[in-house]
Amino acid sequence: MKRFRRHGHDSQRDKLKQELYQFNKTVEHGFPHQPSALGYSPDLDLLAIGTRSGAIKLYGAPGVEFMGLHDENATVTQVHFLPHQLELVTLLDDNSLHMWTLRAHQGVSELLEVGRFTLTGPPGAPPSVTRVTTVLAHSSGELLLLGTEGGHVFVVEVPGFRELEERNISVEDVQARIPEEYAPRRNLECVEALQEKPLNPRQVLIGYGRGLMVLWDLDRQCAIQYFLGTQQLESVWWMEDGEHILSSHSDGSYCSWSTTDGDVQSQPEKQDTPYGSFPCKAISKVLQFPTKQGPPFLILSGGMPRASYGDRHCISVIHSKTHIALDFTSRIIDFFVIREGEQHTGDPSALVVLVEEELVVVDLQTEGWPVIQMPYLVPLHCSAITCSHHVSSIPLKLWERILAAGDLQNTHYSNKPWPINGGQNLAPEPPQRDLLLTGHEDGTVRFWDASGVCLYPMYKLSTAGVFHTDADPNDNLNQGAEGEWPPFRKVGCFDPYSDDPRLGIQKIHLCKYSGYLTVAGTAGQILVLELNDEMAEQVVSATVVDLLQGQDGFRWKGHARLDVQEEPVSFPPGFQPFALVQCQPPAVVTAIALHSEWKLVAFGTSHGFGIYDYQQKNVALARCTLNPSDQLAMEGPLSRVKSIKKSLRQSFRRIRRSRVSMRKHQTTNAAKLQEINARLEAEALQEMELAPVQRRIEARSSDDSFTGLVRTLYFADSFITDSAHNTPSLWAGTNGGAVFAYMLRLPPVERRMDDPVTAHQAKEIQLMHRAPVVGLVVLDGRGVPLPEPLEVAHDLARSPDMLASHHLLVISEEQFKLFTLPKVSTKTKLKLTAIDGSRVRRVGVALFGSSRVEDYGENSLVVLTNQGELHVISLPAIKMQVHHPCIRREDVSGIASCVFTKHGQGFYLISPSEFERFSLSARWLVEPRSLVELPDKSTLDPSKARLRDDGRGYDGRGVRGVSDNDNSARHVMEHALLNDEKVLQEIQKSLEGDGGQMGHGDNNIKIPQANILSNGD
């Protein structure tokens, strides 16, 4: 009989779904991948980073973050903030300029692209004429000066991107007054630098590639002074007095020039090569800042001796008798200096350096110039991330102990606060404390505060000390040798090299109630650790577990196990190992489970699984799951890659041989030839390991490789043998579609240290389609997943219903199947692969709270497929609720790295250094909410006045609206034509007299003050 559903029920459920589920990609954590440009606004106190993929990211105070993406998939080569405004300009490597603004909408700022522009030259001109090499955002806020490869300087009015052709500076105009004897006069090359004169913004210094520098007057449209440098120019820098210029060159030297010594200077006042007379690399950028007391700071990048240290990435800081070469582990992109005072004219306080793999901020006011710890932009990939684990709602006591252990590791950082604090963070305080743990290739586990927008580093655990490695414990990478020249000092934490790849962390499990932590590695090692607030010295002995269980005919061809330290090892406060399990063969650990109430750890590899009692420190179970025909499981990862390549080569050789023999026999049967080739190519493809999006859908053969690999382990207190008695149990799922259930007998508490824990096999399920089992969940009598160990004991969850029957949910790559317990009969199933051909890659259980009703929520299954799609499936009904595309199907590493939280959020790697955070929950959402306002500028510096169009300057036409506190529409001055202090004072008095409003037709004037750009008011 056919069932009909009432329409009202469906619409009510759809409404409830909207209250429970809502998909959002919220924030990107970590360090931008492949950064290419750096910008800074002293007025807004914001940092900007552009990337090779066309992203632009802005950062201010912790929690203040913005992101934009250019439509063009081009590299951002330069970022420039417009002075005293909420706009910035980006230059891409396709020669396009883009205007961005921070516009306030409903009390929150948004980063929006509001214009784009590309220089167009005269007809027939070569591309170099308009190829932009350098950009100067004039202090007037309404002009951009664009230097090009052809040596021309174009003047463009902003925000409208209108080229002022009559104000352009052609290379012919510059060459007209150069002395004949100056050799490079006929080919000045590109414009390398444009710098505004500090005390007279109407004069601009133009630096050309061949070494010439020209001081140009924007009002009179002529050159005032020529500085005839002969070395290839890299950068220029104005001294604050406006009377001296520094230039840096390709031969590793820098020069000082005076602007008071005549119209044409052929020699600098001073020339210096910091690192000796041997050939040196170019000094790509030089800065100098005065100090109130004492000598200035000189900061330069590059300049190292080419033969000895040409491969170093260095920035040298010289102050008085202190000279340090900061040595970075990746290429320097750019740097700037933050200065003290409201006007940012005081002593240098911090050096901010962007390198390819991290951002480093050096405290220039504390002795020794230590590094300031980062509240964001921390490089997650200091060592490559190999796995991750999320723990929600951390108890306060555990949180504080982890923080305290982390503080002891951070004594080498500066005590100064983070120096970049623009904008206001309006995001609400996180409702709970969440941890994200990342395992790394070098054997470290890093603990991150994942509660809010900023992913903040809390603590780092290293497991390498337990084992013998090639690392030298006396090797101090942070300091150079005494008397070494150049005086190198290692800075930054990016270190991509691992002492031993076998140390790599593969699985992590933390019990937040007991403080026990389990980590498992690449060479079959499983460490059990506990949190200790004091330093301890102890020996960690290994318990070896033979997972082959005496099976004959197998020989392990992979890596050897790690050698354990036999002497006592000193462990700092924090998580300290007290037990070590070593699997034999030492294959990668593929699954772990920790039950801190029973004091048991379960572990699995490609050969089998076992249970370790870490209270008695002995093995309670070892089970081999190896298929006799599975030879690849014995070869290890490196051997496996070789065998795949070998089989491919053999297959394609057979194809070529068959084609040659066909030609020799001059076979005319084309159909037969095609059939043979197709068969051989199919044979080759069968031997190749296919990417997830290429997996076949038909039923698996029992002879498939790695069928015995353990994919998931699960502890449960449920009904195994009969429906009257619940017993502890372990469930294991394998790559071949098998599920093993073991009943555990635990001694009573008073005999726990004396009597052994025993395990007996109670059930075995073989799925007909033999798809890998990726998840196991036991549901209680109410259809709710069983609580975590100790969760009920801490009154943080209801006791499971033991009166009604329990159910086992088996999640394979292809379907979800619900079995009754203890009979293990099928109750219901959902075939995912049959619907859309997808395969399950990641699965988790989450509680979705209603956004409307505070105390209503539903437990659901969250699934990520090999197509990059997210599905939410109801429990216990096993029905599809919502699905959303999330990750590109080609991004195999991103899909493999995904981890879910207990409240419907998730993280996945969008690059080696960045996590994308997403949410499927309508109630719990972590996203940036920030507001950036213009700083209060009650007085303007007359030296940075805007330029008139009366023969001495230009007229700005852009008018913007602003929103004040009572949301009234009021126009204020945006592009003032001010160059007289008296005029400024009169306008200001009149504004104060009539409430700040003064209209003149369509030309409204704005005095910059603490106003917010609105959404077009």
Is residue 25 within 8 A of residue 917, CB to CB? The reply is yes
Return the minimum-mean-pLDDT range out of 156-160, 418-422, 464-468, 553-557: 553-557
Return the minimum-mean-pLDDT range out of 315-319, 784-788, 953-957: 953-957
Q: Is the pLDDT of residue 995 over 70?
A: no
pLDDT at 641: 43
pLDDT at 858: 94
pLDDT at 694: 34
pLDDT at 702: 53
Query: Any idea which residue has 């003290």 for tokens?
Result: 340
pLDDT per residue over 938-973, tens digit each? 444 444 444 434 333 333 323 333 333 333 333 323
Q: Is the pLDDT of residue 86 over 70?
A: yes
Instruction: Quickly count: other Cβ atoms within 10 Å of residue 419's Cβ.
Output: 17
Distance CA 568, CA 561 (A): 20
pLDDT per residue over 128-184, tens digit each? 899 999 999 999 998 999 999 999 999 999 988 999 999 999 999 898 888 888 877
pLDDT per residue over 800-824, tens digit each? 999 999 999 999 999 999 999 999 9
Chain Cα centroid distance, residue 781 = 42
Q: Is the pLDDT of residue 195 over 80?
A: yes
Distance CA 425, CA 342 (A): 21
pLDDT at 700: 60
Distance CA 392, CA 921 (A): 15
Higher pLDDT, 764 or 642: 764
Nearest to 301 by CA among 360, 343, 350, 353: 353
Class of residue 935 by CB neighbours under 10 A (exposed 0-12, middle 13-18, buried 19+)? middle
pLDDT at 130: 92
Q: Is 289 helix (H, G, I), strand (E, B) or coil?
A: strand
DSSP assignment of 537-578, as one string? EE---EEEEETTTT-SS----SPPPPPBP-S-EEE-SEEEEE
pLDDT per residue over 902-922, tens digit each? 999 999 999 999 999 999 999
Angle among Cα 30, 31, 36 to the nearest 5 degrees reads 160
pLDDT per residue over 558-583, tens digit each? 999 999 999 999 999 999 999 999 99
493 secondary structure, DSSP code: -
Distance CA 270, CA 254 (A): 8
Is residue 467 within 8 A of residue 562, CB to CB? The reply is yes
pLDDT at 993: 41
pLDDT at 631: 62
Task: Provide φ and ψ at 18, rounded to 5°.
Answer: -65, -30
Q: Confidence band (pLDDT; 50, 70, 90) for 697?
A: very low
Q: Is the pLDDT of residue 648 over 90?
A: no
pLDDT at 795: 86
Could you tell me whether strands 153-157 and 143-148 are parallel, antiparallel, or unpaired per DSSP bridges? antiparallel
Could you tell me what percent of the chain has a pLDDT over 90?
Answer: 69
pLDDT per residue over 18-32, tens digit each? 999 999 999 999 999
Q: Is the pLDDT of residue 5 over 70?
A: no
State the SS3 of 606-656.
Answer: CCEEEEEECCCCEEEEEEECCCCCCCHHHCHHHHHHHHHHHHHHHHHHHHH
The contacts found for 684-693 with CB under 8 angstroms, 24 or more apart, are 684/647, 684/648, 684/651, 684/652, 684/655, 687/644, 687/647, 687/648, 687/651, 688/644, 688/647, 688/648, 689/644, 691/892, 692/839, 692/841, 692/866, 692/892, 692/895, 693/866, 693/867, 693/889, 693/890, 693/892
Angle among Cα 276, 281, 285 to the nearest 5 degrees reads 100
pLDDT per residue over 339-381, tens digit each? 998 788 889 999 999 999 999 999 999 999 999 999 999 999 9
End-to-end CA, the chain? 62
Q: Is the pLDDT of residue 476 over 60?
A: no
Q: Is 866 helix (H, G, I), strand (E, B) or coil?
A: coil
pLDDT at 177: 83
HSE on the CB side for 107, CA within 13 Å?
A: 6
DSSP assignment of 359-413, as one string? EEEEESSSTT-PBPPPSS---TTSS-EEEEEEE-S--HHHHHHHHHHHHHH-TTS
pLDDT at 675: 54
Length of the chain (residues):
1017
Residues 6+ away with beta carbon under 8 Å from 827: 807, 818, 819, 820
pLDDT at 723: 87
Residues 6+ away with beta carbon under 8 Å from 414: 363, 366, 370, 371, 372, 373
pLDDT per residue over 37-68, tens digit each? 999 999 999 999 999 999 999 999 999 999 99
Sheet holding 222-228, edge to edge: 191-197, 200-208, 212-217, 222-228, 264-265
Distance CA 151, CA 130 (A): 9
Q: Is the pLDDT of residue 981 over 50?
A: no
pLDDT at 499: 76
- Average pLDDT of 667-683? 49
